[in-house]
Chains A and B, each alone.
Chain A
Amino acid sequence: MRTDFRDAMHRLHTGVGVTLGGLLLVIFWMGTLSVFDREIDRWMMPETRLSAPHATLSSFDNTVLPHVQHLAAPGTSWRVSLASARTPFHTLRYTDADGASVRRHIDPLRGELLDGPHTAGASGFFFPFHFSLHLGTAGYWIAGLAGMAMLVLIVSGVLIHRRLLADFFTFRPSRALPRASLDAHNLTGVIALPFHFMITLSGLVIFFAIYFPATWHGAYAETAAHPQQTFNLEAFGSWSRPAAHESVGNVASVDAMIAEARRLWGGPPADQVRGWHAGDAAGYIAVRRSFANEVRRNVDVVFFDAANGERLYRHTASTVVKVQRFLAGLHFLQFDHWPLRWLYFAAGLAGCVMIGSGLLFWLAARRRQSRANRAGLHVVTAIAVTTTSGLMNATLAFLVANKVLPVTLDGRAGTEMQVFFIAWAVMFAHALWRGARAWREQCALVAGLAIGAATLNWGMTGQHPIAALQSDMPAIAGVDLMLLALGFSAAAVTRRLSRNGAADG
């Protein structure tokens, strides 16, 4: 390989890594947490800790439909995610009479509305953070740019290696920091390379319609008046019809719709029921097939007339769309498979270590150069601290706030998120103030907050890990054990940092 090309790749890898490494670390961390978002949800929402789900679903007409009719404002749309192995309750999302979006949980056996939720939970906070950074449309584009940067980093990172395999079998943790962190960077980078490339590319492919938004204009220029709507109908079955603005009291049996849809699919269960134009004569309801037993996020949707139950439209995806949905399914990980879920979690953490150790290597190497720009170094150190230990502390503060804030507090879910961002800002200020000493201090705080969060869960709900396992709540025990593992490893790292005197930085 030509040397000037390798030099260009080397500069590219360093430049992109230093400028966007912190952002990538945040996205990887939130994505890794989202692997277990439903489990963290149940940890954060004690009222949803129902016993193991049931093989057969009870009647939708009796347990869910009355709530929909009572709660959803006339003319609005609503959506019910049906109880499954990972979520033993139905989730109803609707628009109330004041126009506010509301999420409520329903006990699938008794058909009662559960209290709360008093929190956005992992699925409402970590998960959207992962792809939109809670910044709306701009957030999707920043995350997309970060995704492309990740692909550039992966390819340039491979190209600058002269000895890919030899580097893979080299890890010298006892050596000085630049060498040890470079080894960790190479080890995690190479071992999970296929996963990191797959997860980044599939993450981008999910939002192809956002990142290449004009594509349908060329393809549908002459055939359709509404290119985007026509494309969405043909590719993804986004069938719709306008409201009749004429109210109707009767709602047909949704159980019968689900049964009819299952008959058409040849057996597999439904996982979502959506309704449009509630209470309107032109209202319609869609039943979607479950993803639980396949990788692909299918778009097998059947539409019914809400008033008389007549079948209106059935969508089946084309092969090209199935490929896109397969890539999306690889990323979304909505299939039920525990060993694979843990592998995703481990590979996600490996990604965090890879990005973090890359930043550390750059910092340690710069620090040894006498001519280095001290002020710039200080800021990059602060950013590295904030996106590693600072991010962990903000996440843990969010979990602790979930246990400490009173259930009666107005706007409690929003307050929890504010706690996250305030804690993160405090961590950044602390890192700017303390410089490299912030590593050890924030690491000690991680240990305290993680063990504290697990202890608070025990104190508030009585479900310590052993009790959780005995009452068949592996999700709760799993979150607690991960918190304890994080807490004790952070304590060990703090001790090592103090002993090595690395605090002088």
Chain B
Amino acid sequence: MKNATLVSRVAAAVFGGYAATASGVMLLAALLPRVTPLAAADAVVLTAMCGFPAYLLTLLWSFSHSDLRRVWLVLGGITTVSALTVTALAVSGRAV
């Protein structure tokens, strides 16, 4: 593996993987109390706890998937969609 590829892969897995996991956790914590009877506090604790195994799987996938560009695209896509949805939920919630 060339050095630049290695740096890109580590960055994708560690930082991209964290961004995707953390934003996904935030989205689930926002959605669960809205669509299920789960209390907001419980949703936060539950999703944040599940964030660790989710990050673990993301790391393993990012390191083992052969197509590095696809890894960046998937992680970036999850992050963008989650962050936008959470923002939209927050804005619409405040408007109501």
B40 closest partner in A (C-beta): A219
A265 at the interface (CB under 8 A from B): no
With A152-B59, A222-B93, A234-B40 given, is the CB distance from A217 to B86 under 8 Å?
Answer: yes
Q: Is the CB of B44 within 8 A of A219?
A: yes
Q: Is the CB of B45 within 8 A of A324?
A: yes
Within 8 A of A (CB), among B50-93: 51-53, 55-56, 59-60, 63-64, 66, 86, 89-90, 93
Number of residues in A with C-beta < 8 Å to the partner? Answer: 38
Please choose the segment from A5-13, A354-362, A394-402, A448-456 that sits at the chain B interface, where 4 or more of its residues have CB less than 8 A away: A5-13
Q: Is the CB of B26 within 8 A of A218?
A: yes
Within 8 A of B (CB), among A206-236: 208-209, 211-212, 214-223, 231, 234-235
B47 closest partner in A (C-beta): A215
Within 8 A of A (CB), among B1-41: 14, 22, 25-27, 29-30, 32-33, 38-41
A205 at the interface (CB under 8 A from B): yes
Q: Is the CB of A215 within 8 A of B48?
A: yes
Q: Is the CB of A208 within 8 A of B45?
A: yes
Whole-angstrom CA separation of A395 from B89 in the bound complex: 51
Whole-angstrom CA separation of A237 from B46 in the bound complex: 17
With A12-B63, A152-B56, A204-B52 given, is the CB distance from A218 to B45 under 8 Å?
Answer: no
With A218-B30, A320-B46, A321-B45 given, is the CB distance from A223 to B51 under 8 Å?
Answer: no
Within 8 A of B (CB), among A278-306: none
Q: Is the CB of A318 within 8 A of B64?
A: no
A264–chain B nearest beta-carbon distance, Å: 22
Scoring A residues 119 to 160 as 1 if CB is less than 8 Å from chain B, else 0, what string do you get?
000000000000000000000000001001001100110000
Instruction: Choose one: B41, B43, B55; the contact of A148 (CB below 8 Å).
Output: B55
A140–chain B nearest beta-carbon distance, Å: 14
Whole-angstrom CA separation of A209 from B63 in the bound complex: 26
With A223-B40, A231-B40, A324-B49 given, is the CB distance from A216 to B29 under 8 Å?
Answer: yes
A246 at the interface (CB under 8 A from B): no
Contacts of B94 in A (CB 8 A): 221-222
A213–chain B nearest beta-carbon distance, Å: 8
Instruction: Choose one: B41, B60, B63; the contact of A234 (CB below 8 Å).
Output: B41
Contacts of A151 in B (CB 8 A): 52, 56
A201 at the interface (CB under 8 A from B): yes
B76–chain A nearest beta-carbon distance, Å: 18
Contacts of B66 in A (CB 8 A): 4
A-side interface mostly: helix
Whole-angstrom CA separation of A151 from B94 in the bound complex: 39
Q: Is the CB of A208 within 8 A of B40?
A: no
Whole-angstrom CA separation of A272 from B22 in the bound complex: 34
Contacts of B59 in A (CB 8 A): 148, 152
With A12-B64, A215-B29, A222-B94 given, is the CB distance from A235 to B45 under 8 Å?
Answer: yes
Contacts of B32 in A (CB 8 A): 219
A159–chain B nearest beta-carbon distance, Å: 9
Q: Is the CB of A208 within 8 A of B56?
A: no
B88–chain A nearest beta-carbon distance, Å: 10
Q: Is the CB of B42 within 8 A of A320?
A: yes
Contacts of B56 in A (CB 8 A): 148, 151-152, 155
With A155-B60, A235-B45 given, is the CB distance from A212 to B25 under 8 Å?
Answer: yes
Q: Is the CB of B49 within 8 A of A208?
A: yes
Q: Is the CB of A221 within 8 A of B41?
A: no
B45–chain A nearest beta-carbon distance, Å: 5
B28 closest partner in A (C-beta): A218
Whole-angstrom CA separation of A208 from B80 in the bound complex: 22
Instruction: Choose one: A148, A218, A320, A324; the contact of B89 (CB below 8 Å).
Output: A218
B26 closest partner in A (C-beta): A218
Enumerate chain A interface residues (CB-CB to B < 8 A): 4-5, 8-9, 12, 145, 148, 151-152, 155-156, 201, 204-205, 208-209, 211-212, 214-223, 231, 234-235, 318-321, 323-324, 327
Enumerate chain B interface residues (CB-CB to A < 8 A): 14, 22, 25-27, 29-30, 32-33, 38-49, 51-53, 55-56, 59-60, 63-64, 66, 86, 89-90, 93-94, 96
Known: A208-B52, A212-B51, A234-B39; 12 extra A-B contacts, CB below 8 A, are A4-B66, A12-B63, A12-B64, A148-B52, A209-B48, A211-B52, A212-B47, A217-B26, A219-B40, A222-B90, A235-B42, A235-B45
Give me 14 A-to-B residue pairs in the complex whose CB atoms sit less than 8 angstroms apart, sorted by A's number: A12-B63, A148-B55, A205-B52, A208-B45, A208-B51, A212-B22, A215-B22, A215-B48, A216-B44, A219-B40, A221-B94, A222-B94, A231-B40, A318-B39
